[in-house]
Amino acid sequence: MLNPMNIKKFIICNNEKSLTINFVNGETACLPFEYLRVFTPQLNNAAKQKTLVTHKKSVALSAIENVGKHGYRFIFDDQHNAIYTFEYLTLLIKEHKQRWQKYLEELKASGHSREAMINITQL
């Protein structure tokens, strides 16, 4: 069973736009930045109304900060940040395929896109 103390390190892979999580027991998990951003933790878990997050295909994870026993603050380049608890990260790892498929179906039904609304070129 995984617990917060079993995370060995995070690797932010900008070329692949993904986060690799290495665990002490040798296991690894790789989650795309877009997936992490789309499934950002809700501020109020009691709120039943979930907002569909769109246009995040190009989002990047800028930094991760340890916030002690609360988890890790993920800071994205779209100025969004949120605290991901270890329990929530574990859930995102376990349910990655199912959550992503459902998201793509909801996105298609909504008529929105994963693509950024404007193109940004870094010089």
Relative orientation angle of helices 86-94 and 96-110, to the nearest 10 degrees: 80
Between 24 and 118, the more confident residue is 24
pTM, 2 dp = 0.86
Average pLDDT over residues 74-78: 96
Tens of pLDDT, residue by residue over 26-69, are 999 999 999 999 999 976 554 556 789 999 999 999 999 999 88
Average pLDDT over residues 82-91: 93
If DSSP codes are grouped into helix, strand and coil, which group holds residue 11? strand
If DSSP codes are grouped into helix, strand and coil, which group holds residue 97? helix
